Amino acid sequence: MKEKVVLAYSGGLDTTAIIPWLKETFDYEVVCCCVDCGQGNELDGLAERAKLSGASKLYIENIVDEFCDEYIMPCVEAGAVYEHKYLLGTSMARPVIAKKLVEIARKEGAAAICHGATGKGNDQIRFELGIKALAPDLKIIAPWRMTDVWTMQSREDEIDFCRQHGIDLPFAADSSYSRDRNLWHISHEGLELENPANEPNYEHMLVLGVTPEKAPDEGEYVTMTFEAGVPKTVNGKAMKVSEIITELNTLGGKHGVGIIDIVENRVVGMKSRGVYETPGGTILMAAHDQLEELILDRDTLETKKKLGSQFAQVVYEGKWFTPLREALQAFVTSTQQYVTGEVKFKLYKGNIIKAGTTSPYSLYNESLASFTTGDMYDHHDADGFITLFGLPLKVRAMMMQEVEKNKK
Instruction: Tell me the per-residue pLDDT of 372-384, one tens digit each, with 9 for 90 and over.
Output: 656 677 888 899 9
Q: What is the structure's pLDDT at 253?
A: 98
Residue type, 120: K
pLDDT in tens, 99-111: 999 999 999 999 9
Domains of the chain, by residue range, sit at 4-66+87-164, 178-296+339-358, 366-407
pLDDT band at 187 (very low <50, low <70, confident <90, very high): very high
Fold type of domain 178-296+339-358: Argininosuccinate synthetase, chain A, domain 2 (3.90.1260)
pLDDT band at 365 (very low <50, low <70, confident <90, very high): confident
Range 112-135 average pLDDT: 97
325 vs 308: CA distance, rounded Å: 11
Q: What is the arrangement of strands in the sheet containing 29-36, beginning at the earlier edge strand?
A: 57-62, 29-36, 4-8, 112-114, 139-141
**Buried-state track 18-46, b at ≥16 Cβ within 10 A, e below 16:** bbbbbbeebebbbbbbbbbbbbeebeeeb
pLDDT band at 142 (very low <50, low <70, confident <90, very high): very high
Residue 170 has pLDDT above 80, yes or no: no
Between 11 and 408, name the one with better pLDDT: 11
Residue 369 has pLDDT above 70, yes or no: no
Q: What is the structure's pLDDT at 372?
A: 62
Q: What is the structure's pLDDT at 379?
A: 85
Beta partners for residue 62, in sequence order? 36
Range 33-62 average pLDDT: 93
pLDDT band at 45 (very low <50, low <70, confident <90, very high): confident
Range 199-214 average pLDDT: 97
Assign 3-class secondary structure to the chain: CCCEEEEECCCCHHHHHHHHHHHHHHCCEEEEEEEECCCHHHHCCHHHHHHHHCCCEEEEEECHHHHHHHHHHHHHHHCCCECCCECCHHHHHHHHHHHHHHHHHHHHCCCEEECCCCCCCCHHHHHHHHHHHHCCCCEEECHHHCCCCCCCCCHHHHHHHHHHCCCCCCCCCCCCCEEEECCCCEEEECHHHHCCCCCCCHHHHCCCCCCHHHCCCCCEEEEEEEECCEEEEECCEECCHHHHHHHHHHHHHHCCCCEEEEEEECCCCCEEEEEEECHHHHHHHHHHHHHHHHHCCHHHHHHHHHHHHHHHHHHHCCCCCCHHHHHHHHHHHHHCCCCCEEEEEEEECCEEEEEEEECCCCCCCHHHHCCCCCCCCCCCHHHHHHHHHCHHHHHHHHHHHHHHHHHC
Residue 316 has pLDDT above 70, yes or no: yes
Range 131-159 average pLDDT: 95
pLDDT band at 175 (very low <50, low <70, confident <90, very high): low
pLDDT in tens, 321-330: 999 999 999 9
**Average pLDDT across the chain, whole number:** 95
Class of domain 4-66+87-164: alpha beta
pLDDT in tens, 48-91: 999 999 999 999 999 999 999 999 999 999 999 999 999 999 99
pLDDT band at 189 (very low <50, low <70, confident <90, very high): very high
Q: What is the structure's pLDDT at 318?
A: 98
Residue 370 has pLDDT above 90, yes or no: no
pLDDT band at 155 (very low <50, low <70, confident <90, very high): confident
Q: What is the structure's pLDDT at 40?
A: 85
Q: What is the structure's pLDDT at 169?
A: 78
Catalytic residue ranges:
14, 94, 123, 178
Considering the chain, what percentage of its residues have pLDDT values greater than 70? Answer: 97
pLDDT band at 371 (very low <50, low <70, confident <90, very high): low
- Intrachain domains 4-66+87-164 and 178-296+339-358 with the same fold: no
The model's pTM = 0.94
Q: What is the structure's pLDDT at 168?
A: 82
Q: What is the structure's pLDDT at 133?
A: 98
The answer to whether residues 104 and 5 touch, using CB atoms and an 8 Å cutoff, is: no
Range 121-144 average pLDDT: 98
Q: What is the structure's pLDDT at 377?
A: 79
Distances (CA, A) of 45 to 52, 136, 168, 178, 319: 11, 33, 14, 20, 33
First-to-final CA distance of the chain: 93
pLDDT band at 366 (very low <50, low <70, confident <90, very high): confident
